[in-house]
Structure 1
Amino acid sequence: MKLVRLDDLFDVRYGSNLELNALKLSPSGINFVSRTAKNNGVSARVAPVAGLEPIPSGVLTVAGGGSVLETFLQPEPFYSGRDLYYLTPLHPMSDEVKLFYAHCIRSNKYRYSYGRQANKTLKGILLPSLSDLPEFVSKARVGKFTKSSKAVLSSPIPPLRTNKWMQFRLGELFDVRKGLRLTKANMLPGQIPYVGASDADNGITAYIGQSAIHQGGTISVSYNGSVGEAFFQPEPHWATDDVNVLYPLGFELTPEIAMFICALIRQEKYRFSYGRKWHQERMRESVIKLPVTKQGQPDFCWMEQFIKTLPYSANIS
């Protein structure tokens, strides 16, 4: 792969260099992008500043300090805080290509720290040339999310006190079953989800014409490949042999409960690697902590309600 300097691809400029505490907040105002790693870098919305044009949309923002090299594509005009740079493409680029470069820039974070910021060396970061991008970049399609951001529940629930949670073996909660290998050459065209050891698209890597081998209302967990990636599978599906499928034992696995448990399962992925697979027997003995009732049983009702209080939860079901 041919590598080029960042400034061969982008015009690198310092941002607005504004202080948020000197601006007037306005919920319907202009995005204020700072050095944060959250919310696409947007930390507030502010009223327009007289005589100062916002930075145009369609550029990448890069934190030179703070959360160093956190990089985001900005879909709206914005103001920015200190130590923030914006990158304007020197060549035509789709949003998909810009997002790919944002990921490449962010992948250099390990080179920096609080004491070693990226202000002087940003332009020299090496990136893949436009003529040598991976094939998947041209095939990717970035759509606009138009669904509701509302939560299902607006009323509060008891607070999240993890110090009172208890440990449960996955084998106590689920019947852990293996997937089955199916090569691409043997796949038939169809509508049945084929779940692979992937960390994208809910683990679904293809749709096939074979009959499903696993039920819906289960959780798929990769024990090879993208180890520890867990997804709720609402429909009958075929899971590859690199995936274990978790069938609930004695409780109804709603989408909300599944999402809560999937998040906890993913937290265990650091324990495994290419040389230490999360195979079926190991997974049965693995332990996760869950909120519990007064009787010491998993509090599935609380888990479901907690997920329903989160933004965008209205789209889950």
Structure 2
Amino acid sequence: MSSSEMEQFLFSDIFTCSRGKRLIEEDQIAGDIAYISSTKYNNGISGYITPPDVMTHYENKITLSNSGSVGYAFYHDYEFVASDHVTVIGIKEPSVFLTREIALYLKPVFEFMRYKYNFGREISDERLKKERVLLPIDAQGNPDWTLMQTYIGSLSRSIKWDSIQCVRKEPKLYVSDWHLFRMDEIFDFYKGKRLTKENMTPGDTNFIGAISTDNGIRQRIDEDPLYLGNCITVNYNGSVGEAFYQKDPFWASDDVNVLCLKRDLAELNVYLAMFLITIIKQNKHAFDFGRKWNLPKMKSTLIGLPVAPDGTPDWAFMEEYIKSLAYSDKL
């Protein structure tokens, strides 16, 4: 879309806005209605409540945080209520239905205002109404909602989208019968191998570096893998203590230790790996760039694991616990 197809509109000419209502945490009763607050996480949902009668119920609207995490916008195609730190936005023209695609187009348009505001300068209703937003226009000079719909739709076709079902159930995690184990009682340890940038060429093998993002994959290289996968990598340098499950064959840098679950204990899978990684990462606070988690220290580090009646790690419980968590089917 070129700039000639765009025009600025006064916010209040195109959109409706209304403020949510304050409900302090002490007055919140658990329930099934999404409560939207000024958080930038979890689509703005801070919890699920049974709202009092004085709160307005909304559906198929966009919310904009006017305080807290100022300027973050989220689309809600479900019933919700909002705090007074949130502005609820709809389309003013009654004939235009706010679809998911239109909402996703508008999200970055609204969030572009963020640079003007912060915790000390909130987005008040009056300021919002005076804002100008840049939108594509049709032949009559009105916002081109059809173009927004089709543009996002065209992008969506190239993105894999796994629908999820919202299930709110408390996972069961017993707290008794946990024992401490040295890490070398649970894992066999292997070292990565140094490979300088000068000797790297692009390829298909995952190169695991001491980073905290992208599952530890720094890049892909044209080298035979050092390890076949189905193991855990732990950084002892760089982003010390970050741990990842490696499903596929890979090359590990010399700043990374490779941990394989001892064969006589259990067969590692993604569910056990997620449980063990969470436990391993609890030790991050004890190490940093200046105090490396070297191999001798890592081997002797104690980790707590649930145990069966015979005192051995309860692998079945660990696996079932991870499977009980929301979104575990996406692992």
TMscore range, shorter length: 0.5 to 0.7
**Aligned residue-pair number:** 257
Question: Does the 8 Å contact 1:61/1:74 carry over to 2?
Answer: no
Q: How does 1:187-226 map to 2 (within 5 A)?
A: 187-226=200-239
Secondary structure in 2 aligned to 1:267? helix
Percent identical: 32
**TM-score, normalising length from structure 2?**
0.63
Whether the 8 Å contact between 2:202 and 2:220 is mirrored in structure 1 is yes
1:137-148 alignment to 2 at 5 Å? 146-148=161-163
Q: Which residue is equivalent to 1:293? A: 308
| 1:243-262 Cα distance to aligned partner (Å, 9 max, x none) | 11101112211110000000
Deviations 1:47-104 (A, max 9, x none): 99999977963745643xxxxx59854233775213x25699xxx99859959x79xx
Cα distance, 1:297 vs structure 2: 0.5
Partner of 1:57: 62
SS of equivalent to 1:181: coil
Separation in structure 1 between the aligned mates of residue 276 and residue 50 of structure 2, nearest angstrom: 38
Structure 2 CA distance, aligned partners of 1:34 and 1:242?
A: 41
CA contact (8 A) 1:228 1:269 kept: yes
Query: Are 2:280 and 1:280 equivalent residues in the alignment?
Result: no
C-alpha deviation, 1:147, in angstroms: 2.0
Runs of 4+ in 1 over 6 A off after TM superposition: 20-23, 45-55, 141-145
Matched, 1:41 2:56: no
Q: 1:245 to 1:32 in 2, by over 3 A?
A: same
Larger Cα-atom Rg? 2
- Report 1 or 2 for greater relative contact order, CA contacts < 8 Å, sequence distance ≥ 6: 1
Residues 93/282 of structure 1: CA separation in 2 closer, same or farther (3 Å cut): farther
State which of 305, 313, 316 in structure 1 corresponds to 2:328.
313
1:16 and 2:31 correspond: no
Pairing of 1:73-112 with structure 2 (within 5 A): 73-76=73-76, 79-82=81-84, 84-85=85-86, 95=108
Q: Could you tell me whether the CA contact under 8 Å between 2:71 and 2:110 is conserved in 1?
A: no
Output the CA distance in 2 between the equivalents of 1:264 and 1:22: 32
* Partner AA of 1:239 in structure 2: A
SS at match of 1:289: strand
Cα 1:79–1:167 change in 2 (3 A) is same
Q: Residue 164 of structure 1: CA displacement?
A: 2.3
Post-superposition CA distance 1:134-157 (Å, at most 9, x none): xxxxxxx99977325369xx9x98
What secondary structure does 2:188 align onto?
A: strand
What is the aligned partner in structure 1 of residue 242 from structure 2?
Answer: 229
Aligned residue for 2:254, secondary structure, equals: coil
User: How far apart, CA to CA, are the structure 2 residues paired with 1:35 and 1:59?
Assistant: 8
Match of 1:269 among 284, 290, 315: 284
Give the letter aligned to residue 260 of structure 2.
Answer: Y
From the superposition, tell whether residues 26 and 160 of structure 1 become closer, same or farther in structure 2 (CA, over 3 Å).
closer
* SS of residue paired to 1:162: coil
What are the Cα deviations for residues 159-217 of structure 1, in whole angstroms up to 9, with x where unaligned?
42234210011111111211112222221221111111121111111111101012211
Question: Residues 94, 38 of structure 1: CA spacing in aligned structure 2 closer, same or farther, 3 A cutoff?
Answer: closer
CA gap of 1:34–1:196, structure 2 versus 1, over 3 A, is same
User: 275, 287, 309: which one pairs with 1:260?
Assistant: 275
Stretches of structure 1 that go unaligned for 5 or more consecutive residues are 1-10, 64-68, 106-117, 125-140
